[in-house]
Structure 1
Amino acid sequence: MTLQQQIVGTAMQMTVCTLQPGQTAYCEAGKFLFKTSNVTMETRLSGPAGGRPGGVQPGGGAAGGMSGMLRQAMGTAMQAGQRALAGESLAFQYFSASGGEGTVGFAGVLPGEMRALELDGSRAWFAEKDAFVAAESTVHFGIAFQGGRTGRSGGEGFILEKFTGHGTVIIAGAGNFIDLNPADFGGRIEVDTGCIVAFEEGIEYGVQRIGGLDRQGLMNAVFGGEGLSLATLEGNGRVILQSMTIEGLANALKKAQGGDKQGPTGGLFSTHQG
């Protein structure tokens, strides 16, 4: 059952979802906005599994039930541990409608766009940390730890959110979105590492360093925080980019609040006037 939803707003969008009786959606803690009174809300550590809210599996007698409960508890602990290691929220909030249709609203944490992705089970989607907003309980949320040339620790690409299954998943980013396919540009595009929001399974994602630390590279690193590496996206599949990086937004807010008092000649390259 596809999640009936409408994305509203401009500068900072939100999504308003209509839940049918028996339909469940879940979100990361901190993404919930409002709900109607006939929508129940429950907080759990476990993510959805097998299309069953909370990952509850049927037991087979007393021994089978105890074994199933133990496996479920261990699975929940592993999921929570993975999310903690990735810096994600430990808990999910689940929403279910009773006595007719119910309405629930969600939003991201940054000013920007939202996007609803429809999963048909054939391809997974990967998203950068904190992109996830909400999904149907038939969509599985996981953490993908990428290694080798496929990312760098402490920044975009090393730890990714992974979505599999069937149904609707809603993601959010900063600024405006643009959809690209590397296959339309010779099979490869190079992107600022902070601009990637999500991409389909089948896209090969790597990070490459560009040039040495010359004067211009040092200036870029000090003043812009970027310029020393690029993300590479190769293959045939959908890629979603955002127009604003989190670092850029943070720097802009800092300057607006008067936090940057040094000016263009301050900091590392400033000279003392006696």
Structure 2
Amino acid sequence: MALQLQIVGNAMQMAVVQLQPGQTVYCEAGKFLFKTVNVSMDTRISAPNGNQQGGGGQGGGGGMGGMLRQAMGTAMQAGQRMLAGESIAFQYFTAQGGEGTLGFAGTLPGEMRALEITPGRAWLAEKDAFVAAESGVNFGIAFSGMRTGMSGGEGFILEKFTGQGTVIIAGAGNFIDLNLSDFGGKLQVDTGCIVAFEEGVRYGVERVGRMNRQGVMNAMFGGEGLSLATLEGNGKVILQSMTLEGLANALRKAQGGDKEGATGGLFSTRVQ
């Protein structure tokens, strides 16, 4: 059944979800806000198994062999999430004996979006975008773009959503919806601006703006350069108007922690 939800708020949006009896959603730790008392909550290390209504799961038979395979799969999934810096456990919520209401939110000021996942339409999202999803949605980690990125010191860790159901994502600032076909099938984007894109979109990560001998790039980019993702193909892309790095720099300035300026002093100004 379709997930009923309403996204409310402006600068800091939240999703209010209406669960039908027996319906289950899950989220990462730190994204849950509130629930009605008839909604049960359970914390598990195992990732959702997606389309479980068939009862067969991933197959492989029962008995000790099946249990061992399931345990190994759970350990591998938890290891991937740890390596990606994600929460190890998920929180599951199920409506008991009637409709239930609960709320979720992201961790930064910005927008939220509900994406519909189908067997032929998967989505990938940046690693902090996931908020909550129906139990029919598979959650996975994709270590992608690493070959391109390694030469430039960069890689891309993504969350991958397959199966069927609704997944809720969040980003910083405002969302920008683009279709690569409107830009000739190719677009270069600051990696910090990427929120999500449809499976099938090809991408690579490269570093530009390296420091020259005079240290000009060091002054302009803090010695880090700029990471660009090249997105290619035909598919939808969701960008965010605010990057985490930009937000962190703004907070440092507001707290007086960057008196020399974010550019390392070359273009800095000081108020006496």
Q: Give TM-score, length-normalised by structure 1.
A: 0.88
Aligned to 1:244: 242
Q: Which runs of 5+ in 2 are unaligned?
A: none
Indicate the SS of the match to 1:229.
Answer: strand
CA distance in 1 between counterparts of 2:46 and 2:111 reads 28
* Contact 1:182/1:234 (<8 A) preserved: yes
CA distance in 2 between counterparts of 1:184 and 1:37 reads 47
Alignment match of 1:82 (pick from 80, 83, 87): 80
* Contact 1:217/1:228 (<8 A) preserved: no
Alignment match of 2:98 (pick from 97, 100, 104): 100
Task: Tell me the amino acid that sits aligned with residue 217 of structure 1.
Answer: M
Aligned to 2:148: 149
Task: Tell me the amino acid that sits aligned with residue 37 of structure 2.
Answer: S
Aligned to 1:173: 171
Aligned to 2:48: 48
* Contact 2:206/2:229 (<8 A) preserved: yes
CA distance in 1 between counterparts of 2:157 and 2:27 reads 19
* Contact 1:152/1:158 (<8 A) preserved: no
Aligned to 2:132: 134
Alignment match of 2:113 (pick from 112, 115, 120): 115
Task: Tell me the amino acid that sits aligned with residue 26 of structure 2.
Answer: Y
Indicate the SS of the match to 1:52.
Answer: coil
Alignment match of 2:193 (pick from 192, 195, 205): 195
1:237-267 deviation per Cα after TM superposition (whole angstroms, max 9, x unaligned): 0000000000000111111111112247965
1:21 aligns with 2:48: no
Aligned to 2:228: 230
Q: Give TM-score, length-normalised by structure 2.
A: 0.88
1:66-124 deviation per Cα after TM superposition (whole angstroms, max 9, x unaligned): 22222211111111111001100000000000111001100000100001000121022
1:158-208 deviation per Cα after TM superposition (whole angstroms, max 9, x unaligned): 211000010000000100001101111111111111100001011111123
Deviates more, 1:144-153 or 1:97-106: 144-153
Task: Tell me the amino acid that sits aligned with residue 134 of structure 1.
Answer: A
* Contact 1:113/1:173 (<8 A) preserved: yes
Sequence identity percentage:
74
RMSD, matched Cα = 2.7
CA distance in 2 between counterparts of 1:258 and 1:27 reads 35
Indicate the SS of the match to 1:126.
Answer: strand
Task: Tell me the amino acid that sits aligned with residue 149 of structure 1.
Answer: T
1:14-65 deviation per Cα after TM superposition (whole angstroms, max 9, x unaligned): 0000111121000001100000000000000001114339x995999xx933
Indicate the SS of the match to 2:62.
Answer: helix
* Contact 1:57/1:68 (<8 A) preserved: no
Task: Tell me the amino acid that sits aligned with residue 136 of structure 1.
Answer: E
